[in-house]
């Protein structure tokens, strides 16, 4: 899957560093008020739908004004990245216990029977955002390993079997999204970053990849920023893009991930810390992009935040994205002019 189809028609530079977000975007406070009103019976479901539509419009417009090449719907309809899918997966039920914060299982979805689905998961969400966006849209799906590990697996003997069943369900969803016009599908795997299971992740990704046409971009995002126990497996992931975190203070040195390994897929390189509300300067982000170029050729480098932007408030999120796009443009200009030369094998720049 080439990157060129995501290049804006009036892009200023010969070099092209693709810019996007991982997935989520800050949700406005008023969206919670509407949801609470619906739950209390004071508002209608149609009010919630209208509010989520409006929040999606705002998220897309923010991303486009910041200058991103590819946007998402901001996951505005999702209160949580896991429990959202209890609405569409049979046997994957909303948490049933009282959660006082001391019992992890109480806040997890419950797997009460073999998981299955009879309806599309995200097609209507995509169809709406596609009418709003004037840039290409990336569809983000919580990955099978995370859906399995962030659940109470009452009806399964193993996480592995449940994860593979979820992979099969996502593979069923892919053709529906493609038929609706989706050009980029990404699986998000925070669970994999917390509990590295590279062989299982590879098998899950392979099952989904078989359903993705060649002209549709397929990627995965792995959270945590710590990849020592996963890097050798990630090299073999059957994806067009592997999106990783490198901006947070606890993230790995990129050299530890890339040195001595040949990543043939594109790399989404996190250059904005999504856990800090302080917006990085353009210069700071430029330096992070240049660090990425020591390990990844520009034709394989995608610039993105570390993770979803949902933990932030809207204003710092906008500032971070705007600075990120400006920084990418500055680095592109430097590449065009030759002021950033070839990269030596020791990771230092020539030129």
> Residues 179-210: pLDDT tens digits?
999 999 999 999 898 888 999 999 999 999 99
State the Cα torsion 346-13-59-307 to the nearest 10°.
Answer: -10
pLDDT over threshold 80, residue 125:
yes
List pLDDT tens digits, range 61-76. 999 999 999 999 999 9
Residue 105 pLDDT: 55
Reference 308, options 257, 255, 270, 280; nearest CA is 270
pLDDT grade for 347, boundaries at 50, 70 and 90: very low
State the pairing for strand pair 138-142/184-189. parallel
Q: Identify the band that residue 322 occupies on the pLDDT scale cut at 50, 70 and 90.
A: very high
- State the pairing for strand pair 184-189/266-270: unpaired
pTM of the model: 0.93
Contact between 54 and 118 under an 8 Å Cβ cutoff? The reply is no
- Give buried/exposed letters for 250-271 (b at 16+ CB in 10 A, else e): ebbebeebbeeeebebbbbbbb
Rounded Cα gap, residues 317 and 27, in angstroms: 11
3-state secondary structure (DSSP) of residue 38? helix
Question: Quick one: which of 135, 3, 152 has its CA closest to 82?
Answer: 152
Q: Using the predicted structure, report yes or no on whether residue 100 has a pLDDT greater than 60.
A: no
Q: What is the predicted pLDDT for the residue at 52? A: 98
Greatest CA separation for the chain: 66
101: pLDDT strictly greater than 70: no
Given a cut of 80, is residue 99 above it in pLDDT? no
Helix axes 314-337, 45-66, angle to 10 degrees: 30
Give just the sign of the alpha carbon dihedral 266, 329, 278, 252: positive
Q: Are 23 and 80 a contacting pair, CB within 8 Å?
A: no
User: At a CB cut-off of 8 Å and minimum separation 6, what does 319 contact?
Assistant: 279
Query: Of 284, 286, 213, 203, which Cα lies nearest the Cα of 249?
Result: 284
pLDDT at 344 over 50: no
The pLDDT tens digits for 204-240 are: 999 999 999 999 999 999 998 899 999 999 999 999 9
Give residues with Cβ within 8 angstroms of 235, minimum separation 6: 261, 262, 263
Q: Please check the confidence at residue 102 and state whether its pLDDT lies above 70.
A: no
pLDDT at 36: 96
CB 317, CB 296: distance < 8 Å:
no
The C-alpha angle 145, 150, 152, rounded to 5 degrees, equals 115
Average pLDDT, the chain: 92
Give residue-wise pLDDT tens across range 127-178.
Answer: 999 999 999 999 999 999 999 999 988 899 999 999 999 999 999 999 999 9
Lowest mean pLDDT among 35-49, 93-107, 322-336: 93-107
The proportion of the chain whose per-residue pLDDT surpasses 90, expressed as a percent, equals: 85
Q: How confident is the model at residue 97 (pLDDT cuts 50, 70, 90)?
A: low
- For residues 89 and 203, give the distance between their C-alpha atoms in angstroms, rounded to a whole number: 21
Segment 102-121 mean pLDDT: 82
């Amino acid at each position: 899957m080439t990157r060129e189809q995501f290049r804006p028609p009036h892009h200023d530079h010969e070099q092209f560093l693709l810019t996007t977000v991982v997935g989520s975007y800050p949700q406005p406070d008023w969206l919670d008020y509407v949801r609470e009103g619906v739950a209390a019976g004071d508002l209608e479901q149609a009010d919630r739908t209208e509010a989520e539509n409006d929040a999606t419009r705002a998220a897309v417009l923010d991303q486009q004004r910041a200058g991103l090449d590819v946007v998402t719907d901001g996951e505005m309809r999702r209160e949580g990245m896991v429990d959202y899918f209890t609405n569409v997966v049979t046997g994957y039920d909303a948490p049933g216990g009282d959660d006082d914060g001391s019992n992890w299982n109480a806040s997890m979805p419950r797997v009460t029977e073999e998981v299955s689905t009879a309806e599309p998961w995200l097609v209507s969400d995509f169809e709406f955002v596609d009418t709003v966006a004037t840039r290409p849209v990336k569809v983000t799906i919580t990955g099978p390993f995370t859906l399995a590990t962030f659940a109470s697996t009452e009806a399964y003997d193993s996480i592995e079997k449940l994860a593979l069943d979820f992979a099969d369900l996502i593979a069923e969803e892919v053709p529906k999204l493609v038929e609706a016009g989706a050009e980029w599908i990404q699986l998000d795997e925070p669970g994999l970053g917390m509990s590295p299971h590279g062989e299982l992740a590879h098998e899950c990704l392979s099952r989904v990849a078989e359903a993705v046409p060649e002209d549709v971009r397929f990627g995965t995002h792995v959270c945590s920023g710590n990849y020592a126990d996963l890097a050798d497996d990630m090299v073999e992931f059957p994806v067009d893009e592997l999106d990783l975190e490198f901006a947070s203070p606890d993230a790995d040195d990129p050299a530890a991930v890339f040195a001595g390994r040949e990543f043939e897929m594109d790399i989404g390189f996190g250059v904005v810390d999504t856990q800090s509300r302080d917006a990085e300067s353009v210069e700071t982000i430029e330096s992070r992009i240049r660090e990425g170029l020591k390990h990844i050729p520009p034709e394989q480098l995608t610039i993105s935040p570390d993770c979803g932007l949902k933990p932030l408030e809207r204003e710092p999120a906008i500032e971070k994205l705007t600075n990120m796009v400006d920084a990418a443009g500055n680095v592109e200009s430097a590449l065009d002019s030759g002021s950033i030369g070839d990269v030596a094998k020791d990771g230092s720049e020539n030129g």
